[in-house]
């Protein structure tokens, strides 16, 4: 028989946890109407339960010990929003083994241990939900699992990190350098004190492993994904991209290839201004999905923030309530994964923007183009940016070429005595 109520235990009262609590406590009548049963926040856990968070917790059991709610047989669902791997991994595993459904917004723990969680969930006849782990309030995972399930997904790519998108947007609009905008992002709360996970690409790699797993019905370790961040992007790169009709974005890319292989990579990309992703600014996220029946679809919305992310968490809770109403007695997620390999980055292809500082003398261009010819690199544009003090700025844009060939050519170009510095190498186009 269906349960007469859905009782929830919440682990973590940070930004997202407080947002979840607000929705569950302030919108309980509407949630009960949609769920057909009361949805009750029974308990909340945090190391700090005394700070006033602007939420009335008078009806909620407050605790600093998560094991109390994990042992509570009345609690049906555990929501974990503390982030990181430990102790989140332990709490999730214990909750699943205790026969409780789990909802998490924790992309790192899902990227690293999601496969084992799904196996434990199936063994214990419960479900694991993690919509909020990718794209904040955007229902991209639900879309892949349900709305687009009739399709063979061919490509999934997009902007899925609000911090880096905010930084690149400000650099584009203001002509500011990376470090200046990073400090502003930290002051506004968009970036952490230690921004490594965001600006060096780890966060996007975690999210791409989750997206790709659903899109291509497999399991991909984030460690197999080639990822780069945005620390090396300069105001000058952005200005030159703008002059050529491009904007620079940090993009997650997943492409189905032949013979059960998938191309997965994360890196800055020069995107044509006319492309819809080029106008996705500030902390907003957008994900493109290409399927064999639907064609192209785009999911767009706030990629982070207290209430957008909390909204996705509570959306997962409503899915659990619907399963309760339907008296479903088995997990709804699939663990029947296909074995697929990740294409090595050296075997991918792209066009490239190469920014060099060279000696202002005869023969430089001939030496560079000779190396490019040896590695079958076709150049579509060459531009001298400036010439001063015996130095010149040289820009080359290539046609599509094998990454491995490009990297070999770049290594040789760096060794030329006429080449003083390689400022940047950025991929062009999606």
Q: Are residues 154 and 272 in the same domain?
A: yes
Are 241 and 362 within one domain? no
Which residue carries 């990376």 as its tokens?
178
Are 191 and 287 in the same domain?
yes
330 in any annotated domain: no
In tens, the pLDDT along 220-276 reads 999 999 999 999 999 999 999 999 999 999 999 999 998 899 999 999 999 999 999
Contacts of residue 217, defined as CB under 8 A and 6 or more positions apart, other chains included, come to: 334, 336, 337, 338
Residue ending a domain, among 237, 270, 302, is 302
CB count in 10 Å sphere of residue 104: 29
Alpha-carbon gap, residue 161 to 185, rounded angstroms: 13
Q: Is 226 inside a domain boundary?
A: yes
Give the chain's domain count: 3
Res 385: pLDDT? 82
> Angle formed by the axes of helices 403-415 and 364-374, to 10°?
150
Nearest 5°: the CA angle 288, 292, 294 is 60
What pLDDT does 93 receive? 98
- What per-residue confidence (pLDDT) applies to 188? 85
CATH number of the domain bearing residue 377: 3.30.70.260
Residues 126 and 326: their CA atoms lie apart, in Å, by 15
Domain match, 208 and 319 both: no
- In angstroms, what CA-CA distances link 339 with 146, 300, 428? 21, 30, 30
pLDDT at 136: 86
**Is residue 181, in this structure, part of any structural domain at all?**
yes
In this structure, are 61 and 206 located in the same domain? Answer: no
**What's the rounded mean pLDDT across residues 15-27?**
96
Structural domain includes residue 333:
no
How far, in Å, CA of 155 to CA of 33, rounded? 38
Is 98 contained in some domain?
Answer: yes
Sign of CA dihedral 368, 370, 374, 375: positive
Tell whether 283 and 223 lie within a shared domain. yes
Domain that holds residue 261: 140-302
* pLDDT of amino acid 322: 83
Give the pTM. 0.93
Question: Do 48 and 177 fall within a single domain?
Answer: no
Q: Per-residue pLDDT tens for 140-197?
A: 999 998 889 999 999 999 999 999 999 999 999 999 999 999 999 999 888 889 999 9
Q: Is 308 exposed, middle or buried (0-12, 13-18, 19+ CB in 10 A)?
A: buried
pLDDT at 286: 97
Mean pLDDT of all residues in 90-96 = 98
Q: Are 8 and 77 in contact (CB under 8 A)?
A: yes
**Are residues 94 and 226 located together in one domain of the fold?**
no
Phi, psi of 229 (to 5 degrees): -105, -155
Rounded to 5 degrees, what are φ and ψ at 40?
A: -115, 125
Residues 158 and 264 in one domain: yes
- Residue 336 domain-assigned (yes or no): no
Residues 122 and 157 in one domain: no
Q: What share of the chain is helix, strand, coil (3-state, %, to 5)?
A: 40, 25, 35
Known catalytic membership, residue 42 = no
SS3 316: helix
pLDDT at 333: 59
Question: Could you tell me if 72 and 180 lie in one domain?
Answer: no
Average pLDDT of the chain is: 94
Claim to verify: residue 298 and residue 319 sit in the same structural domain: no
- Is 338 a domain residue? no
| Six token digits for residue 103 | 């909802």
pLDDT digits (tens, 9 = 90+) for 338-395: 899 999 999 999 999 999 999 999 999 999 999 999 999 999 999 988 888 899 999 9
Tens digits of per-residue pLDDT, 305-332? 889 899 999 999 999 988 766 555 555 5
CATH code, domain carrying 280: 3.30.360.10
Q: Choosing from 207, 249, 340, 421, which is the catalytic residue?
A: 207
221 is a domain residue: yes
């Amino acid at each position: 028989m269906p349960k007469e109520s859905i009782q929830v235990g919440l682990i973590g009262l940070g930004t997202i946890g407080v947002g979840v609590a607000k929705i569950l406590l302030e919108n309980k009548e509407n949630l009960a109407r949609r769920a057909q049963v009361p949805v009750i926040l029974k308990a909340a856990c945090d190391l700090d339960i005394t700070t006033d968070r602007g939420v009335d917790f008078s009806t909620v059991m407050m605790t600093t010990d998560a094991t109390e709610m994990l042992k509570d047989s009345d609690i049906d669902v555990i929501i974990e929003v503390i982030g990181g791997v430990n102790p989140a991994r332990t709490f999730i595993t214990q909750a699943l083994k205790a026969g409780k459904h789990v909802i998490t917004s924790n992309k790192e723990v899902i990227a690293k241990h999601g496969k084992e969680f799904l196996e434990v969930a199936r063994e214990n006849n419960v479900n694991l939900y993690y919509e909020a782990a990718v794209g904040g309030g955007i229902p991209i995972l639900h879309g892949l699992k349900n709305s687009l399930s009739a399709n063979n997904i061919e490509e999934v790519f997009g902007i899925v990190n609000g911090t880096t998108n905010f930084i690149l947007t400000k650099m584009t609009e203001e002509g500011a350098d990376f470090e200046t905008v990073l400090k502003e992002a930290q002051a506004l709360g968009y970036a952490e004190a230690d921004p490594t996970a965001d600006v060096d690409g780890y966060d996007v790699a975690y999210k791409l492993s989750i997206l790709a797993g659903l899109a291509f019905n497999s399991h991909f370790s984030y460690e197999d994904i080639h990822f780069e961040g945005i620390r090396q992007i300069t105001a000058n790169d952005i200005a030159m991209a703008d002059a050529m009709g491009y904007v620079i974005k940090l993009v997650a890319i997943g492409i189905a290839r032949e013979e059960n292989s998938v191309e997965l990579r994360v890196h800055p990309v020069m995107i044509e201004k006319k492309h819809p992703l080029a106008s996705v600014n500030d902390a907003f996220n957008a994900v493109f999905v290409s399927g064999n029946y639907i064609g192209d679809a785009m999911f767009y919305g706030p990629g982070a923030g207290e209430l957008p992310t909390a909204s996705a968490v509570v959306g997962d809770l409503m899915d659990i309530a619907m399963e309760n109403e339907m008296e479903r007695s088995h997990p709804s997620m699939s663990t029947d994964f296909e074995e697929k390999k990740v294409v090595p980055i050296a075997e991918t292809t792209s066009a490239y923007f190469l920014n060099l500082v060279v000696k202002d003398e005869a023969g430089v261009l001939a030496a560079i183009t000779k190396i490019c010819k040896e590695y079958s690199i076709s150049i579509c544009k060459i531009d001298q940016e400036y010439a001063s003090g015996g130095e010149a700025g040289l820009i080359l844009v290539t046609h599509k070429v094998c990454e491995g060939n490009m990297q070999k050519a770049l290594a040789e170009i760096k060794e030329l005595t006429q080449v003083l510095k390689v400022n940047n190498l950025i991929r062009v186009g999606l």
